[in-house]
Amino acid sequence: MTTPAQIAHRHASIAPAALEHLQRLLGSWSLLADLSFSDLLLLVPLSADHETAGGPHLVVLGQMRPNNRPTLVEQDLVGLVVKESSWKLTAQALRSGSIIRGFVRLPSSRSVVPVEEVPVRFRGEVIAVIARISQAPSPEAASEYERAYLSVFDRLVGMVTQGAFPFPTEDVGAEETPRVGDGVVVIDASGDVEFASPNAMNAFHRLGVYSPPEGRSFVELGITSAVTRALESGRPVLEEVERRPDVVVLVQCIPLLSGDRVTGAMILLRDVTDVRKLDRLLLSKDAAIREVHHRVKNNLQTISSLLRLQGRRLAVGAGREALNEAERRVRSIALVHEILSREPGDQVPFDEIVESLVQMARDSVVSTHPVEITVHGSLGEVEADLATPLAVALAEILQNAVEHAFDERRVHDLATSGGGERRATMRLSRVGSVAVDLQQDEKALSVTVRDDGVGLPPGFDLRRSTSLGLSIVRDLVSSQLNGSIEMSNVPPAQGRGTLVRIEVPLRG
């Protein structure tokens, strides 16, 4: 779909501020279409350097159909370039700056329809024309509510031609603001209600006002604050009014101006009670999911404590170590659930998890050799179902680095068994360093862990390693993450140590 900005850029030479004015107009466009029961087109002149044969041209920047009438303009005309000579009334409004009424034949249509051409002024200059196409009933034949709508429309049109509508500050979200069909109230300059549409009456009933509001002051209607602010400031105000039990009505008050004078206001009302109820339900669904994660985390922490207690009862040795390892693994899964219990949604801020995993690894440094772990880069948000296996894998790799890379016994073994010249003369750096590097792009996540320790044992082959830690990592990476893992010695030219790299492709 082409946006007004794209069309304007391609065909017309409109100053940015003027284009913003037109975009704001298009933002309140459906209000105008509904109040006038008309199809609306917004046309701007084509810039001179785009002029083609046949004199000046216009381009259709926007089109809006009424919600309360069948449309008279079935084609999509947005982006259409037309000759001024065949849209004479539009051109006339553009040049004269006054409203022109007449009849037009629409492109690719045989019928002739009534049109009203409204010049749009901005900072004193006519920058566009609204072509209002309708078979609106004549004021005499119209019903009371139609007459009320048309009269507000005429006042707004007056503001458009004076450059006072759309309001310069209007930035309220289009889908949130009430529409004409939701309920309209018109008040005069003193604040007395002139007219209230049937749907507005319904909204008032919800607010606890039952007698007909016509003739009463808006103050009695319980929407005082929005209206007072709008009348005083001469600017539109959007506000939510809450009444017990659980009734929420969205109130938009649009002051009607004549010159600088506020001559009244149009109030749109929308009962959003059900919408807000749904919002609350969604919120509570989020809360329930968080609660589940919270409980899973608690249960995992209980399991991890049990393992720790059981480990302490064993004598130092393989059994005790195995229980400690199991305890640590459960704890790294609990970490992910802890974060999910704080953050709603199915994305987890993984950097927080990394922080906790790094802390866990630091805490488990038992050897006399100090180790420093640093983290660079970021993985940002990671899908929850990738986060758990990735966290467990990273925990294993970090654990390996602190456990094996700076093992003085291994240095000694290497020196005595002649593990190559480089290793025979190796000294560990005073403080071991482990660097975690995190990267994410649209296609993949990558996690690299590099240490400056002793390097992998001679003949090490990740695919054939049968020890538990790396078997877990291999399995998680290939079956749950669909990714790949590489482990290698740091090339001699770049120092020494071990390099582990996990790559996880991202879906779609």
Ligand X SMILES: Nc1ncnc2c1ncn2[C@@H]1O[C@H](COP(=O)(O)OP(=O)(O)OP(=O)(O)O)[C@@H](O)[C@H]1O
Question: Which stretches of the chain bind ligand X, using CB under 6 A?
Answer: 325, 396, 400-401, 403-405, 451, 453-454, 456-457, 465, 467-470, 498
Pick one of ligand X, Mg ion, none as the site partner of residue 117 (Cβ within 5 to 8 A by kind).
Answer: none
From the CB of 329, what's the least distance to ligand X, in Å?
Answer: 9
- Whether a cis peptide bond, with omega within 30° of 0, leads into 245 is yes
Nearer to ligand X, 203 or 476 (CB): 476
Pair 56, 46: CB distance under 8 Å: yes
Nearer to Mg ion, 269 or 500 (CB): 500
Give the list of residues 6+ apart from residue 430 with CB closer than 8 angstroms, or none: 370
Nearer to Mg ion, 275 or 468 (CB): 468
Nearer to Mg ion, 327 or 338 (CB): 327
Looking at the DSSP bridge assignments, the partners of residue 265 are 187, 255
From the CB of 354, what's the least distance to ligand X, in Å?
Answer: 17
Pair 132, 113: CB distance under 8 Å: no
Pick one of Mg ion, ligand X, none as the site partner of residue 119 (Cβ within 5 to 8 A by kind).
Answer: none
Nearer to ligand X, 115 or 456 (CB): 456
Which residue number has the CB closest to ligand X?
A: 469
Residues 453-472 that bind Mg ion (CB under 5 A): 469
From the CB of 6, what's the least distance to Mg ion, in Å?
Answer: 57
Give the list of residues 6+ apart from residue 34 with CB closer than 8 angstroms, or none: 66, 67, 68, 149, 179, 180, 181
* Cα 332 to Cα 360: distance, rounded to the nearest angstrom: 8
From the CB of 298, what's the least distance to Mg ion, in Å?
Answer: 27
Task: Give the DSSP H/E element, type plus range, for residue 352.
Answer: helix 350-363
| Encoded tokens for 53 | 């044969």
Q: What's at 219, amino acid-wise?
A: V
* Cα 185 to Cα 109: distance, rounded to the nearest angstrom: 37
Pick one of Mg ion, ligand X, none as the site partner of residue 456 (Cβ within 5 to 8 A by kind).
Answer: ligand X
Pick one of ligand X, Mg ion, none as the site partner of residue 182 (Cβ within 5 to 8 A by kind).
Answer: none
The length of the chain, given as a count of residues: 508
From the CB of 468, what's the least distance to Mg ion, in Å?
Answer: 7
Residues 342-401 that bind Mg ion (CB under 5 A): 400
Pick one of Mg ion, ligand X, none as the site partner of residue 468 (Cβ within 5 to 8 A by kind).
Answer: ligand X
Pick one of ligand X, Mg ion, none as the site partner of residue 451 (Cβ within 5 to 8 A by kind).
Answer: ligand X
Nearer to ligand X, 256 or 405 (CB): 405
* Cα 162 to Cα 43: distance, rounded to the nearest angstrom: 17
From the CB of 300, what's the least distance to Mg ion, in Å?
Answer: 20
Closest CA to 257 of 236, 234, 238: 234
Nearer to Mg ion, 262 or 360 (CB): 360
From the CB of 401, what's the least distance to ligand X, in Å?
Answer: 4
From the CB of 467, what's the least distance to Mg ion, in Å?
Answer: 7
Nearer to Mg ion, 243 or 501 (CB): 501
Which residue number has the CB closest to Mg ion?
A: 469
- Whether a cis peptide bond, with omega within 30° of 0, leads into 139 is no
From the CB of 336, what's the least distance to ligand X, in Å?
Answer: 19
Nearer to Mg ion, 2 or 359 (CB): 359
Nearer to ligand X, 262 or 322 (CB): 322
Give the list of residues 6+ apart from residue 337 with CB closer than 8 angstroms, or none: 293, 294, 296, 297, 300
| Encoded tokens for 315 | 């004598």
Residue 168: Cβ within 10 Å count: 14
Pair 415, 427: CB distance under 8 Å: no
| Encoded tokens for 403 | 């456990």
Pair 309, 282: CB distance under 8 Å: no
| Encoded tokens for 142 | 């119209």
From the CB of 497, what's the least distance to ligand X, in Å?
Answer: 7
Give the list of residues 6+ apart from residue 306 with CB closer than 8 angstroms, or none: none
Window 261-300: contact mask with Mg ion (x via CB under 5 A):
----------------------------------------
**Residues near Mg ion, by CB under 5 A:** 400, 469
